[in-house]
Amino acid sequence: MPRSPFSPSIPLRPEATDAEATDAEATDAEATDAEERFEPLAIEAEFPPPVANIHPDQGKGWFRRLWPVVSAHRGLLTIGILAGAVALATAVAVPAVAREAIDAAGDGRRGALLASGLVLFGLALARMVFGGTFRYSLFKLAFRIDSELRALLHRHLTKLSFSFYDHTSSGDVISRANSDIRSIQILLAFAPMGILAILTFFLALALMLTIHVPLTFVALSTLPLVGVLGIRFRSIVLPLSWITQSRLAEVAAIVDENVGGSRVVKSFAAERAQIRKLARASRRVQWAAMRSVDVRARYNPLLAALPRVAMGLVLLYGGWLAIRGDVSIGTLFAFNAYVIMLQVPFHMFGFLLMQTQRGAAAAARVYQVLDTRAEIVDPPDAVVLDRVDGALEFDDVSFGYPDAAGEADREILSGFSPRIEPGEVLALVGPTGCGKSTVARLAARFYDVDDGCIRLDGVDIRTLSLACLRRHVGIVFDEAFLFSVSLRDNIAYGRPTARLEEIVEAAQAAQIHEFIDDLAEGYDSAVGERGYTLSGGQRQRVAIARALLADPGVLILDDATSAIDSEVEEAIFAGLRAGGRRSMLVISHRLSTISQADRVVFTEGGRVVAVGTHAELLAREPRYAQVLAESQATAGSR
């Protein structure tokens, strides 16, 4: 196919396997190789890809599955562990040194008192430095893992097939990518402190046993009851955490729909109905949240009070021992300090237990997405076509959209077998619901056919690299989606490296240049959310310019000129034809659009009924004339 003025000037890269790393022990080099896949344009990544993936074994616990991501940051993890160990040692050493200082003061040993004071000063300084390093390292690690998980989730979402999005709300996806990952990050930030507190508990316990065994058992007298309450608390909080996260996702979905569909909501004056819907969802979240609050209100005070009861018993029994002279005042002070250390895990126990359950529920929701396998993937030996002539053939294609279980719900196409010749403009016409838009989605392999095959230049598209196929088969949909960036960036979306002259040339061919040029900021003018600051016809023309700049060998226009008047449409088709020997599939009911086609394929019930020129079909196919008449009547009544 001759290269048009809009052809990319950057060379294509060779194909590599588009397989996601499933081995948790994969090396960094292997992860990098997995990212070196074919792209239409050789654009260098601005940021490095995630260095590791979660473990693929779904039978492992949530943290064991996360471990490959955590261990990828061994440096921070090692520094944090070492700093925490030193901080722990200094914390446990303080009561022992203070015991010596108090006893030295009581005995009048000034030298020992001064030495103990200097040691305490050094311990305090070490505690400050290493404790700060421990917190900094672990928080930094938690935020890095947060970033890695977001990158992993986003990368995986871009690979998932359209069937996933057909049955998953955007609000639910947003909730998993934001609040769920945030819950994991909070747990990873504070869990190491809990682990350090538990280690402090056991070390303090060991030292207490060396001081006075009966007094130690008094200090531990309430521990069994704390364990029982903790297990009961965990069994209630875990399901509540899952329910809360799910209902937050429901609220996010409603908010997302109201923001994205604000014009529809306002046009039907349905604000009150949507507010009631959001209020119901919010009350469901409130119930789950208040149930969690109720559980915490009943269990946390008990978990916090029981260690204080033990402390009172220690002071009572220890004071009696001191009066009898069985222990010194310094020993009683040290023992009391260790009892306080025993309480630290119990103070954190409620919060960490709740956050652990919330983090586990959040991780399960994130893994649920990451474990979803993409149905449309590159084959291991994917073929890359540098250029195409534009021959697109549907060979006895049958297809039905999959339901939530992955089974075909109903058949949309059956025995569908048209062919587009290189450089030909083929119109696809048929009654509503006959599968015309489905043809466009199958041609770009958004879905795979159930039977038959689709060939591009004689090559089964299932053997092609996805990026290669979508480089050569471009689609402009009837509902043109624009990003909230400048018009220049929207047009250059498929070719970010395109020069302004090329962007202007594409805009001129799409008959949108004059409008853009009249704007105060020209091509740097920003469009609003989804491009709603532009009219429907302007959005469609920007989308056509975007497709032109990408320069596909086969261009599919799915009712993409429905909001454009016939004179402008004619000029656009002239520009499309002038851009090179490009094949086009035009899906439309408009006579002005169909008249641009070399041939027309009339479909009904997912089958090809008749093929010919527009005039031939009008003469011999009454159903074709009826569909066009109904379409014109509908358009005229608007």
pLDDT (tens digit, 9 = 90+) per residue, 27-40? Answer: 333 333 333 444 55
Task: Tell me the average pLDDT across 350-361.
Answer: 78
What are 252-294's pLDDT values in tens digits? 777 766 766 665 666 566 777 778 887 888 888 888 888 878 8
Dump the DSSP string for 375-433: SS---TT-B--S-----EEEEEEEEEEE-TTSSEEEEEEEEE--EE-TT-EEEEE--TT
**DSSP conformational letter for 560:** T
Residue 201: what pLDDT? 82
Does residue 509 contact residue 491 with C-beta atoms inside 8 Å? no
Residue 243: what pLDDT? 80
Residue 259: what pLDDT? 66
Check whether 457 has a pLDDT greater than 50: yes
What is the torsional sign of CA 212, 218, 221, 222?
Answer: negative
**Tokens 């119990």 sit at which residue?**
346
Does residue 421 contact residue 584 with C-beta atoms inside 8 Å? no
Residue 15: what pLDDT? 36
Dump the DSSP string for 178-228: IIIHHHHHHHHHHHHHHHHHHHHHHHHHHHHHHH-HHHHHHHTTTHHHHHH
**DSSP conformational letter for 464:** B
Residue 562: what pLDDT? 84
Check whether 100 has a pLDDT greater than 70: yes
Task: Give the integer Cα–Cα distance in Å for 224 and 98.
Answer: 30
| 408: confidence class by pLDDT, cuts 50, 70, 90 | low
Task: Tell me the average pLDDT across 353-362.
Answer: 81
Residue 9: what pLDDT? 34
Close Cβ partners of 283 (under 8 Å, ≥ 6 residues apart): none
Task: Give the integer Cα–Cα distance in Å for 491 and 483.
Answer: 10
What are 126-158's pLDDT values in tens digits? 989 998 999 899 899 999 998 889 889 988 888
| 636: confidence class by pLDDT, cuts 50, 70, 90 | low
Task: Tell me the average pLDDT across 243-255.
Answer: 76
What six digits make up the tokens of 141?
């690690």
Q: What CATH architecture is 392-636?
A: 3-Layer(aba) Sandwich (3.40)
Residue 557: what pLDDT? 94
> In the chain, helix, strand, coil percent, each to 5?
60, 10, 30
Does residue 422 contact residue 387 with C-beta atoms inside 8 Å? no
Write a three-state SS string for 254-279.
HHHHHHHCHHHHHHCCCHHHHHHHHH
Task: Give the integer Cα–Cα distance in Å for 247 and 245.
Answer: 6
Spell out the domain ranges in the chain.
62-370, 392-636
Task: Give the integer Cα–Cα distance in Å for 601 and 615.
Answer: 12
Q: Tell me the C-alpha to C-alpha distance, in Å, between residue 525 and each of 119, 169, 505.
A: 67, 31, 17
Residue 584: what pLDDT? 93
Q: Which long-range contacts (CB under 8 A, 24 or more apart) does 604-612 make?
A: 604/430, 604/431, 604/434, 605/414, 605/434, 606/411, 606/412, 606/413, 606/414, 606/415, 606/416, 606/434, 606/435, 607/413, 607/414, 607/415, 607/416, 608/415, 608/416, 608/417, 608/418, 609/430, 611/418
Check whether 371 has a pLDDT greater than 70: yes
What residue spans of 510-613 are helical by DSSP H? Answer: 513-518, 536-550, 566-578, 591-594
In 3-state terms, what secondary structure has residue 555?
strand
Cβ-based neighbour number of residue 620 at 10 Å: 11
Residue 27: what pLDDT? 35
What is the torsional sign of CA 268, 271, 273, 274?
Answer: positive
What are 45-73's pLDDT values in tens digits? 566 777 788 898 988 889 899 999 998 88
Residue 444: what pLDDT? 92
- Residue (of 185, 473, 213) closest to 318 by Cα position: 213
- Residue (of 408, 391, 421) closest to 451 by Cα position: 408
Q: Tell me the C-alpha to C-alpha distance, in Å, between residue 442 and each of 289, 373, 585.
A: 44, 19, 13
Residue 635: what pLDDT? 57
Partners of residue 589 on adjacent β-strands: none
Does residue 81 contact residue 130 with C-beta atoms inside 8 Å? no
Residue 398: what pLDDT? 94
Q: Class of the 62-370 domain?
A: mainly alpha
Rank 179-188, 304-313, 624-633 by mean pLDDT and report only the highest: 179-188
pTM more than 0.75: no
Partners of residue 612 on adjacent β-strands: 600
Does residue 103 contact residue 115 with C-beta atoms inside 8 Å? no
Crossing angle of helices 271-324 and 223-260, in 10° steps, is 160
| 634: confidence class by pLDDT, cuts 50, 70, 90 | low
Q: Tell me the C-alpha to C-alpha distance, in Å, between residue 61 and each of 71, 358, 360, 361, 364.
A: 16, 14, 9, 11, 10
Partners of residue 603 on adjacent β-strands: 608
In 3-state terms, what secondary structure has residue 486?
strand
Close Cβ partners of 430 (under 8 Å, ≥ 6 residues apart): 436, 602, 603, 604, 609, 627
Cβ-based neighbour number of residue 309 at 10 Å: 12
> Is pLDDT larger for residue 549 or for residue 30?
549
- Residue (of 73, 71, 69) closest to 370 by Cα position: 69
| 169: confidence class by pLDDT, cuts 50, 70, 90 | confident
In 3-state terms, what secondary structure has residue 526?
strand
Task: Give the integer Cα–Cα distance in Å for 176 and 178.
Answer: 6
What are 158-168's pLDDT values in tens digits? 888 888 888 78
Among residues of the chain, what percentage have pLDDT more than 70? 86
Task: Give the integer Cα–Cα distance in Å for 607 and 523.
Answer: 44
Does residue 157 contact residue 149 with C-beta atoms inside 8 Å? no
What are 417-444's pLDDT values in tens digits? 999 999 999 999 998 888 899 999 999 9
Check whether 460 has a pLDDT greater than 90: yes
Does residue 196 contact residue 87 with C-beta atoms inside 8 Å? yes
Check whether 529 has a pLDDT greater than 80: no
Residue 10: what pLDDT? 32
Check whether 585 has a pLDDT greater than 90: yes
Does residue 430 contact residue 602 with C-beta atoms inside 8 Å? yes
Residue 265: what pLDDT? 67
In 3-state terms, what secondary structure has residue 70?
helix
In 3-state terms, what secondary structure has residue 622?
helix
